[in-house]
Every structure is written in C-alpha cells, then in structure tokens.
A = this chain, B = another copy of it.
Amino acid sequence: MLRLLLGLALLGLAEALPFEQRAFWDFSLDDGPALPADQEEASGIFPTSGVPDFEDVVPTYRGLCPFGCHCHLHVVQCSDLGLSMVPKQIAPDTKLLDLQNNQIRELHQDDFKGLHHLYALVLVNNRISQVHPKAFSPLHHLQKLYISRNLLSEIPPALPPTLQELRIHDNRIRKVPRGIFRGLTSMNCIEMGGNPLQNSGFEPGAFDGLKLNYLRISEAKLTGIPKDLPATLNELHLDHNQIQAIELEDLIRYGKLARLGLGHNAIRMIENGSLASLPLLRELHLDHNRLSHVPPGLPGLRLLQVVYLHANNITQVGVNDFCPMGFGVKRAYYNGISLFGNPVPYWEVQPATFRCVTDRLALQFGNYKK
C-alpha cells in the first residue's frame, strides 16, 4: 500500500523541505494524543491557538501496531499482507514478529531497530535476497529465526549470539563460509535443507564453535556425508541428497548421533565398521537407496530400535544381519524394521533373523512385486 511513494513532492506549506520518507512512514505513529509535545509549527501556518488540549477528551492509545497487522500480547502478526518492506511502528516490547507470506525483498539496517525483546522472528516465504550485515544486531534476545523460503544466496552474517534455532530451508545458498556461525554458542538447531549445497560448499571450519543437537541438510546436492559438522549432533538428516557411499571415516566424528536420516539417496555401499562409530544410534533411515544387502554392523548397535531399509535393492537377509549371535549379548529390542520394496524372497528368510524384534507388528516385510 505504500509502494507508490515515487515522484512525491511535499506541499510547501511553510517552506520547501527536502523530502523525508521517514516522516511518511512514521505518520501512522499512534502512541497517544496527537498533539506533539514540541509545537514546532506553533508559529507557522497552523493555527495552534484555539486548538484544545486533548488530554481530557482523547482516550490514550499507546499500542503501536502496523496498519493491517494484529497485535496482541507482544505478538505482532503481519503475515499475508503483501508487505514489500518490514513495517515500522512495531512496539519495542514485541516478542514475536510474524512477517511470513509477504513480498519483502530486503532487510535493512534499521528494520528491526529497537526490538530488543524479540524472541522469534518469522520471515518465511518472502523474497528476501539482501540482508544488511547489521540488520539483526538490535535483536539482543532473538532465539528463533525462521527465514525459509526466500531468495538468500548466503547465510546472513552476524546472527545474534542468543540464537538457538535457525531455519533457512529452501533458499539459494551454495556456500557455508568458515566462521559464519562463530559466537553462536546457544544454537542447537539448524535446518538448511532445500538449498543447492554441494559438499564443496562447506568451507573447512564452517561449523566451528557450534554445539548443535539437530542439523538438517536434506534436499541438497550432497554426494557424501560432510566431514566437518559439529561432533555434538544427536540428529543428522541428510535425506534426499545424492550420497553414494558411507565410508569408514565418514561417521567417526558423529559418535553422539541418536538419529540418522539418509533416506532417498543413492547409497550402494556402507563400509564394514562404519556404523560402529555410532554406539548411541537409536534410529537409522536408509530407505530409498541402492543397498544390495543389509548394512553390516547392525547387531552391534545396542540401542538401535528402528531401521528403515525399504525401497532398496536387497536380495537376501542373513540370520545374523540384525540380531547378535550369542544370548549373552545385551541389546535393545527393535521396534521397527522395514524391508518392503526389496527383491528379497521372504520365504527364504529364517524367522530367527528377527529374534530381537519386539513383536511381529514391528516388522514391515512386503513381498517384492515387479
């Protein structure tokens, strides 16, 4: 609605002033009776004599709220408004600012000025391609930044050190430079899938300083497991990439993983011993790959409960592929194994293969039909 500011000229009422867009933006300022404290115009053309004192008749209305937004209990909800810029008039005590589904193209230096209490900033589904290096610097308490579905070609620099969660899915990021996350000691979750990221896009030290629990780089262009991700990860999701193999050294660093998502890749080979690096693994998704046999090492993963292997090229299942051989070996029961969508003749699989599975319903073992 404010896009038609081009070619404006101020009516020279008292004197010709240079055009100040700031004033135009500010003019819906709505924080009290309209009489300015500083009556600059008192001696100008506006007859201020005779203007009543409004304190007694105008109800005080202190809440700032951009026109069209809904502001309630420190939440400023401005989604779906067709906004082309971050609106002004955002109350400084705002905790959540929702600007999703607009047409914002750029974040300027002062767009979030004064929003020291902002806890969550939602910018999903705009057209943001430019972020000023200082745009986020006023956000001293920002914990969640959701900026997925934009046109960013790089991760914005100088993210607030208080940030805990960054969602930057579905942008145009090709590169994660060294040190980009430096100082983000509170961050525990990054979702950066849906970007055209190749393995070479991660500079050495890209994740230095991060103690992430959760990382998702799905729907990217990875051909292998990145080697330099935080060793603190409990969950790593790399599904829908082009990973072809898992080699011995690929997983050594990630010994804290409880969940590993590798579905929808092109994995043909998992090197013997590589899974042994993951003693805490509880859930492993390898569905929709090109495996020709059950990956080696599953019986040794003592906490593993869920394995997805459906939609691979597995032709046979050995009696010791899942469960330890001896009775003395302690192991959690599986409560989920999927094997359907593989060319394995199920009548050839010995029932004892699944001796450490909770119950028969925990097993999905479809017939192979071509």
The interface of chain A, by Cβ under 8 A from chain B, is 1, 4, 7-11, 13-14, 17, 20, 23-24, 27-30, 33-36, 40-41, 44-47, 50-52, 54, 57-59, 61, 67-68, 70, 72, 77, 79-80, 82, 100-101, 124-125, 148-149, 165, 167, 169-170, 188-189, 191, 193-194, 214, 216, 235, 237, 239-240, 258-259, 261, 263-264, 282-283, 285, 287-288, 302-303, 305-306, 308, 310-311, 327-328, 330-336, 338, 340-341, 346, 349, 351-352, 354-367, 369
Which one of B23, B59, B72, B261 contacts A189 once the chains associate, using CB atoms below 8 Å?
B72
- Select A30's contact among B8, B282, B361, beta carbons within 8 Å: B282
Given A7-B366, A80-B191, output 15 extra A-B contacts at Cβ < 8 Å: A1-B285, A9-B365, A27-B335, A28-B336, A34-B333, A44-B360, A45-B355, A47-B355, A50-B328, A61-B258, A61-B282, A68-B216, A70-B214, A80-B193, A125-B125
CB–CB A358/B237 < 8 A: no
Q: Which of B70, B170, B263, B356 contacts A235 (CB 8 A)?
A: B70
Q: Which residues of B contact A82 (CB under 8 A)?
A: 240
* Interfacial chain B residues near A264, Cβ < 8 Å: 1
Task: Report chain B residues within 8 Å CB of A288.
Answer: 1
Which of the residues B70, B167, B357, B361 comes within 8 Å of A17, measured between beta carbons?
B361
Contacts of A191 in B (CB 8 A): 70, 79-80
Report B-chain residues with C-beta under 8 Å of the C-beta of A341: 4
How far does the alpha carbon of A346 sit from the alpha carbon of B9 in the complex, in Å? 10
A79/B1 in contact, CB under 8 A: no
| Residues of B with C-beta under 8 A to A214 | 70
Distance in Å: Cβ of A97 to nearest Cβ of chain B:
15
> With A193-B80, A355-B46, A363-B11 given, is the CB distance from A261 to B68 under 8 Å?
yes
Q: Which of B327, B361, B366 contacts A23 (CB 8 A)?
A: B361
Tell me which residues across on chain B come within 8 A of A361, comparing CB atoms: 10, 17, 20, 23-24, 27
Number of copies of this chain that the complex holds: 2
Whether the Cβ atoms of A34 and B80 lie closer than 8 Å is no
Q: Among the listed B68, B332, B334, B366, which residue makes an inter-chain contact with A33, where contact means beta carbons less than 8 Å apart?
A: B332
Q: Are B13 and A363 in contact (CB under 8 A)?
A: yes
Residue of A47, A306, A366 with highest tally of chain B CB at under 10 A: A366
Complex-state Cα separation, A264 to B4, whole angstroms: 12
Residue of B nearest to A288 (CB): B1
Bound Cα distance A10, B359 (Å): 12
How far apart sit A263 and B47, CA to CA, in the bound complex (Å)?
31
Question: Can you spell out 6 A-B residue pairs with CB atoms less than 8 angstroms apart?
Answer: A27-B362, A30-B306, A59-B303, A70-B189, A82-B240, A125-B125
Chain B residues near A45 (CB, 8 Å)?
Answer: 351-352, 355
Question: When A13-B363, A70-B214 are in contact, do A333 and B35 touch as well, CB less than 8 Å?
Answer: yes
Q: What's the nearest-Cβ distance from chain B to residue A32, in Å?
A: 10
A59 contact set on B, CB distance < 8 A: 303
Given the known interface contacts A80-B191, A332-B58, A336-B28, the answer about A366 and B8 at a Cβ–Cβ threshold of 8 Å is: yes
**Do A305 and B148 have beta carbons less than 8 Å apart?**
no
Alpha-carbon distance between A314 and B190 when the two chains are bound, in angstroms: 52
Query: Complex Cα distance A9/B366, Å?
Result: 5
